[in-house]
């Protein structure tokens, strides 16, 4: 697949300073360039305030560039005529599940986006059912969302985005407020989304183990991209990541510590299984 | 063994009894919190942990059973309730959403003021609490709403620390923060523990975090105590934990897998540090042989 | 606890009453209220009561839940009954100080009290059996003709459904903030009125701030899901009058007619 999903060119952005202080506004994004292939899974890492969420909001025209440009499936986000089309193509799931559910009934919430898009009723029904089945919340279709758990609410929110049939879904720290079960469920849905729909996925996170599952990891700091590469490559730069206020996955940290003690083990192991296997090989040698 | 400061005896709590919405949140829970320990309470959403901790300072009254603070029932009288609120500090999830005063100083002073302490005493406590959480003096006159997320969280925790509780209970104190923010908050809490000898209770669903600081752990499931003991005892029951919707620490997973692959490891390996020393010992043995 | 409030709550179900078009139910409640105000005699009240009881029975709403919902209104009901009791005309049956109780007063007190109780129970039936979304949708359609007069009907309906959506969340939030401030030794039930009002600040300030934050995030999420006003919007569930709606409306109008006729004959 070589279609370009997103092309960001030298993007700069700042929030307008309030009049009283008279201070010059500070750049939240200071010249970001990034191209994302359709169908890929990109994780964006960065500490709080690194600009990663601001970047995310440019991808579906919630924010517009102050400098540079953002093109989504060939559409420039500054073209107001295209705003709806862009938002339909690029769905967005936010951090707080409570603050993105608009209805008191699960299925009516999932229907919200297609309703806005003027999709005919029978077609909405089909999409709602499909989206709810996809996230495993079909049995809850007539429940009240505020009585669901955080993880379940987040799945409903994802279904609400999928009902638009987007080509690309941006997840903005979708698991930050969830318990381990909720986190697992959301990550499983992301995998399923890629496997079954071939969707482009952009995941904003500071959970390293989640980022490790992506094809590509982009690290941001102070409004700039400071690292960009395959997870294995990125996580081998342990010291640099720590300087940026980021941790590495526990398994990588272990390998790194062992190497410092003079053991000859590979640096990157992204899962517990992989880590154990590499270590067992090491001890089985000779 | 250290003596207990706070105990629950066969605590049961039922919400909306006698209605279609009746729900037993906590059932027959007897636990103790010992002087100066760090206790981790673990459970998935809906396991009853939030209800349980709100009993510890009489915010919620038991449907049956008792809560004893230094041997005295905290729900006995108005005085005992007030005493429990002062001695058992409770920091809720996302505490930064409860800030309300014009300045950081006033917000931290809210608790001590309610305790009717003298002006001097209040001033001393506010400054001390601010120091514990690393909030600098010049921030005290700022509005809490101008601070960053991590700073707000620390100010909110200082608001409880300023009451100088003997038991500090924190519900998911690190939720939603980035790795650096998490580390800082944990350091603040440990500083309070080390300097005052207060007991710390941390409610969490992150096993990796619990593994790194807890002396003892209690696992709740469906409103009951499912496991209790030292971290290595609890983590040795990985399958059961996963069955309850909880995650085991990554190092436990690695250790389990290594044992399956024939590498011999001591039983209590659940942090990176422990794993490093276990493996380097193994390496030395191998080289020596 | 605040969570226990049942006023205006929706109880999901699948009875005829639940499935009825919200527009029908809104119209029926209006007809019902009109009939209540026309009704003057025991017979008319009995007719109305039979209708109400039948509706409650068919909808399988727990009578206990409904009576519990009346709790906050007891004061108003008792006050109305008392006022009517003491202001009747005719021969007094009992008298003390400046009050006198007459046969007419007793009748009026009972009438007024039953009128309020039946009025409230009737409107409860609407909210208990209709999801808030359906209710606002029904209102939006009924008020549709006002769009020609430049009344922002869609916007008003959206505001209403957003409010209904946020109420449970805000109640939960208030509970949480109250507990958190109590944990810091705050007391809400002591002192004089001014002190009590002051004690509310630690709850109200965070509540306002978080409501604004929620509203802002919700608005962003709605935009991200292509919300752009009512223009060109379609619906998952399209409202269509079914046989049960015509039957219901017919029945309602008949009862209203009967009550009017009875009133004509002074009954």
Mean pLDDT, chain A, integer: 91
pLDDT reading at B57 higher than 70? yes
Q: Which residue of A has its CA nearest to B284?
A: A263
Q: How confident is the model at residue A279 (pLDDT cuts 50, 70, 90)?
A: very high
- Across chain B, where does the E strand assignment appear? 4-15, 23-29, 32-34, 38-42, 64-69, 72-73, 88-91, 167-171, 199-204, 216-221, 224-229
B234-248: per-residue pLDDT in tens? 988 888 888 888 888
CA distance B158 to A116: 46
Interface of A to B at Cβ within 8 Å reads: 47-49, 95, 149-151, 176-177, 179-182, 184, 206, 209, 245-247, 249-251, 253-254, 257-258, 261, 263, 272-273, 275-277, 279-280, 283-284
Give the relative orientation of helices A150-162 and A180-197 as an angle to the nearest 10 degrees. Answer: 20
Instruction: Classify the C-alpha dihedral B158-B160-B165-B169 as positive or negative.
Output: negative
Picking from A259-263, B184-188, B206-210, B284-288, which range would have the lowest pLDDT averaged per residue?
Answer: B284-288
Residues of chain B found within 8 Å of residue C65, distances taken between Cβ atoms? 19-20
- Across B71-223, where does the E strand assignment appear? 72-73, 88-91, 167-171, 199-204, 216-221
* Residue C137, H or E segment: helix C132-142
Give, as one character, the DSSP assignment of residue A23. Answer: P
CA distance B112 to B116: 7
CA distance B59 to B75: 10
Domain assignment present for A255 = no
**Residue-level pLDDT at B16:** 79
Residues of chain C found within 8 Å of residue A144, distances taken between Cβ atoms? 10, 12, 168
Other Cβ atoms less than 10 A from the Cβ of B215: the count is: 15
Q: In this structure, what is the dihedral angle of CA atoms A249, A251, A254, A258, given to the nearest 10 degrees?
A: -130
Residue identified by tokens 């205006």 is C8
Domain assignment present for A126 = yes
Domain assignment present for A30 = yes
CA distance B217 to B236: 13
**Beta-carbon separation of A108 and C224 below 8 A:** no
**Beta-carbon separation of A105 and C162 below 8 A:** no
CB C9 within 8 Å of CB C127 = yes
Structure tokens at C48: 């109305």
CA distance B202 to B89: 12
Distance from CA of A247 to the nearest CA of B (A): 6
Domain assignment present for A263 = no
Average pLDDT of C18-24?
Answer: 91
Task: Answer yes or no: is the ipTM higher than 0.85.
Answer: yes
Which pairs count as long-range contacts for C238-247, CB under 8 Å and 24+ apart, including other chains?
Answer: C238/A121, C239/C21, C239/C22, C239/C23, C239/C137, C239/C138, C239/C141, C240/C21, C241/C21, C241/C23, C241/C24, C242/C21, C244/C16, C244/C19, C244/C20, C245/C20, C245/C21, C245/C23, C245/C24
CA distance B101 to B108: 9
Residue identified by tokens 């924190």 is B170
Give the relative orientation of helices C63-70 and C103-129 as an angle to the nearest 10 degrees. Answer: 120
Q: Which domain holds residue A25?
A: 4-248
Q: For strands A4-13 and A90-93, give the pairing.
A: unpaired
Q: What is the pTM of this model?
A: 0.86
CA distance B155 to B103: 11
Give the relative orientation of helices A180-197 and A121-134 as an angle to the nearest 10 degrees. Answer: 120
User: What is the domain count for chain A?
Assistant: 1
CB B198 within 8 Å of CB B167 = yes
Give, as one character, the DSSP assignment of residue A1. Answer: -
- Of B232, B182, B231, nearest to B39 by C-alpha is B231
Give the number of C-alpha atoms closer than 13 A to the C-alpha of residue A183, restricted to the C-beta side: 22
**Beta-carbon separation of B280 and A258 below 8 A:** yes
Other Cβ atoms less than 10 A from the Cβ of A90: the count is: 28
C29-62: per-residue pLDDT in tens? 999 999 988 888 888 888 889 989 999 999 888 8
CA distance A86 to A80: 10
Q: What phi, psi does A69 have (nearest 5°)? A: -145, 160
Q: What phi, psi does C28 have (nearest 5°)? A: -60, -40
| pLDDT > 70: percent of chain B | 98
- Of A223, A205, A151, nearest to A183 by C-alpha is A151
CB A97 within 8 Å of CB A111 = no
Structure tokens at B41: 């309470």
Cα A89–chain centre separation? 15
**Residue-level pLDDT at C165:** 82
Nearest-CB residue to B99 (from C62, C186, C206): C206
Structure tokens at C213: 């934050």
Q: Which residue of B has its CA nearest to C187?
A: B114
Angle CA(A265)–CA(A266)–CA(A271) in degrees, nearest 5?
Answer: 110
Other Cβ atoms less than 10 A from the Cβ of B229: the count is: 14
3-state class (DSSP) for residue A24: coil
**Beta-carbon separation of B54 and C182 below 8 A:** no
A1-53: per-residue pLDDT in tens? 468 999 999 999 998 866 665 566 788 999 999 999 999 999 999 988 889 99
CA distance A20 to A139: 53
Picking from A225-234, B150-159, B183-192, C185-194, which range would have the lowest pLDDT averaged per residue?
Answer: C185-194
Residue with more model confidence, A207 or B160? B160
Q: How confident is the model at residue C110 (pLDDT cuts 50, 70, 90)?
A: confident
**Residue-level pLDDT at A7:** 95
Nearest-CB residue to A84 (from C165, C172, C228): C228
**Residue-level pLDDT at B61:** 93
Cα distances (Å, whole numbers) of residue B225 to B245, C31, C57, C246: 15, 56, 43, 57
CA distance B156 to B137: 16
**Residue-level pLDDT at C198:** 83
Domain assignment present for A271 = no
Structure tokens at B112: 């001590």
Domain assignment present for A268 = no
Cα A108–chain centre separation? 25
**Residue-level pLDDT at A200:** 96
Q: What residue segments make up the domains of chain C, in order of their start?
A: 1-130+237-267, 155-236
Question: What residue spans of C190-242 are helical by DSSP H?
Answer: 193-224
Burial degree of A18 (CB within 10 A; 0-12, 13-18, 19+):
exposed
Could you tell me the maximum CA-CA distance found in chain B, to the nearest angstrom?
Answer: 70
Q: For strands B72-73 and A216-221, give the pairing.
A: unpaired
Nearest-CB residue to C185 (from B54, B86, B99): B86
Any chain C CB within 8 A of the CB of A15? no
Task: Check which CATH number belongs to the domain holding A198 and give it.
Answer: 3.40.50.300
B40-56: per-residue pLDDT in tens? 999 888 889 999 999 99
Nearest-CB residue to C180 (from B19, B98, B115): B98
| pLDDT > 90: percent of chain B | 63
Any chain C CB within 8 A of the CB of A86? no
Average pLDDT of A213-219?
Answer: 95
A141-194: per-residue pLDDT in tens? 988 888 898 999 999 999 999 999 999 999 999 998 888 889 999 999 999 999
Residue identified by tokens 């009290």 is C113
Contacting chains of C (3 CB pairs or more, <8 Å) are A, B
CA distance B143 to C67: 47
Burial degree of C130 (CB within 10 A; 0-12, 13-18, 19+):
buried
Q: What residue segments make up the domains of chain B, in order of their start?
A: 4-237, 249-289
Domain assignment present for A55 = yes
**Beta-carbon separation of A272 and B181 below 8 A:** no
**Residue-level pLDDT at C1:** 44
**Beta-carbon separation of A257 and B177 below 8 A:** no
CATH superfamily of B4-237: P-loop containing nucleotide triphosphate hydrolases (3.40.50.300)
pLDDT reading at A110 higher than 50? yes
């Amino acid at each position: 697949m070589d279609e370009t999903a997103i092309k960001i060119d030298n993007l700069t952005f700042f929030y307008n300073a309030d009049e009283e202080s008279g201070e010059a506004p500070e750049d939240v994004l200071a010249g970001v360039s990034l191209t994302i292939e359709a169908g890929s899974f990109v994780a964006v890492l960065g500490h709080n305030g690194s600009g990663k969420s601001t970047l995310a909001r440019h991808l579906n025209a919630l924010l517009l560039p102050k400098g540079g440009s953002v093109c989504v499936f060939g559409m420039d986000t500054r073209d107001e005529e295209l705003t709806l089309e862009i938002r339909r193509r690029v769905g967005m799931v936010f951090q707080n599940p409570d603050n993105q559910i608009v209805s008191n009934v699960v299925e009516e919430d999932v229907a919200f986006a297609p309703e806005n898009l003027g999709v005919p009723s029978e077609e909405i029904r089909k999409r709602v059912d499909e989206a709810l089945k996809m996230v495993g919340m079909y049995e809850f279709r007539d429940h009240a969302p505020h009585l669901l758990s955080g993880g379940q609410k987040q799945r409903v929110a994802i279904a609400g985005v999928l009902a638009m049939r987007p080509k690309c879904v941006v997840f903005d720290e979708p698991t930050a407020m969830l318990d381990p079960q909720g986190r697992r469920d959301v990550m499983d849905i992301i995998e399923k989304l890629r496997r079954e729909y071939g969707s482009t996925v952009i995941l904003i996170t500071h959970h390293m183990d989640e980022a490790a599952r992506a094809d590509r990891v982009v690290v941001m700091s102070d409004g700039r991209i400071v690292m960009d590469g395959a997870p294995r490559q990125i996580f081998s730069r342990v010291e640099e990541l720590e300087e940026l206020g980021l941790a590495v996955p526990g398994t990588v940290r272990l390998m790194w510590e062992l190497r410092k003690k003079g053991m000859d083990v590979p640096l990157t192991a992204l899962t517990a299984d992989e880590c154990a296997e590499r270590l067992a090989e090491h001890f089985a040698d000779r | 063994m250290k003596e207990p400061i706070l105990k629950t005896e066969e605590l049961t709590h039922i919400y909306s009894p006698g209605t279609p919405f009746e729900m037993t949140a906590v059932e027959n829970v007897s636990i103790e919190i010992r002087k100066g320990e760090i206790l981790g309470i673990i459970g998935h959403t809906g396991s009853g942990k939030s209800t349980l901790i709100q009993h510890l300072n009489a915010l919620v009254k038991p449907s049956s059973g008792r809560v004893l603070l230094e041997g005295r029932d905290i729900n006995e009288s108005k005085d005992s309730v007030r005493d429990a609120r002062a001695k058992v500090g409770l920091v809720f999830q996302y505490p930064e959403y409860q800030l309300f005063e014009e300045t950081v100083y006033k917000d931290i002073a809210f608790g001590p003021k309610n305790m009717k302490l003298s002006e001097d005493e209040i001033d001393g406590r506010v400054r001390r609490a601010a120091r514990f959480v690393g909030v600098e003096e010049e921030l005290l006159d700022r509005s809490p709403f101008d601070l960053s997320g991590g700073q707000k969280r620390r100010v909110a925790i200082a608001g409880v620390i300023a009451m100088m509780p003997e038991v500090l209970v924190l519900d998911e104190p690190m939720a939603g923060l980035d790795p650096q923010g998490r580390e800082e908050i944990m350091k603040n809490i440990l500083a309070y523990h080390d300097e005052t000898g207060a007991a710390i209770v941390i409610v969490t669903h992150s096993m990796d975090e619990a593994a790194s600081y807890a002396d003892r752990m209690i696992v709740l499931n469906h409103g009951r105590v499912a496991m209790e003991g030292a971290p290595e005892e609890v983590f040795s029951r990985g399958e059961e934990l996963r069955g309850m919707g909880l995650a085991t620490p990554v190092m436990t997973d690695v250790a389990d897998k290594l044992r399956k692959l024939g590498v011999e490891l001591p039983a209590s390996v659940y942090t990176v540090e422990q794993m490093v020393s276990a493996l380097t010992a193994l390496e030395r043995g191998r080289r020596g042989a | 606890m605040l969570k226990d409030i049942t006023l205006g709550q929706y109880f999901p179900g699948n009875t005829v009453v639940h499935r009825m078009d919200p527009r029908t139910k809104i119209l029926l409640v209006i007809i019902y209220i009109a009939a209540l105000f026309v009704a003057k005699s025991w017979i008319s009240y009995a007719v109305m009561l039979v209708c109400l009881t039948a509706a409650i029975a068919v909808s399988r709403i727990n009578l206990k839940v409904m009576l519990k919902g009346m709790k906050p209104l007891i004061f108003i009901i008792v006050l109305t009954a008392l006022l009517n009791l003491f202001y009747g005309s005719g021969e007094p049956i009992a008298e003390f100080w400046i009050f006198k109780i007459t046969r007419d007063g007793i009748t009026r007190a009972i009438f007024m009290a039953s009128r309020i109780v039946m009025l409230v129970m009737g409107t409860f039936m609407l909210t208990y059996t209709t999801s808030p979304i359906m209710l606002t949708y029904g209102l939006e359609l009924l008020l549709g003709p006002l769009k020609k007069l430049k009344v922002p009907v869609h916007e008003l309906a959206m505001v209403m459904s957003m409010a209904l959506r946020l109420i449970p969340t805000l109640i939960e939030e208030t509970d949480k903030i109250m507990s958190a401030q109590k944990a810091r030794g705050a007391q809400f039930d002591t002192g004089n009125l001014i002190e009590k009002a002051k004690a509310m600040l630690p709850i109200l300030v965070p509540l306002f701030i978080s409501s604004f934050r929620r509203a802002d995030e919700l608005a962003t999420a709605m935009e991200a899901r292509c919300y752009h006003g009512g223009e060109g919007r379609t619906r998952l569930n399209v409202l269509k009058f079914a046989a049960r709606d015509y039957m219901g409306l017919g029945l309602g109008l008949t009862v209203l007619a009967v009550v009017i006729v009875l009133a004509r004959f002074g009954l």
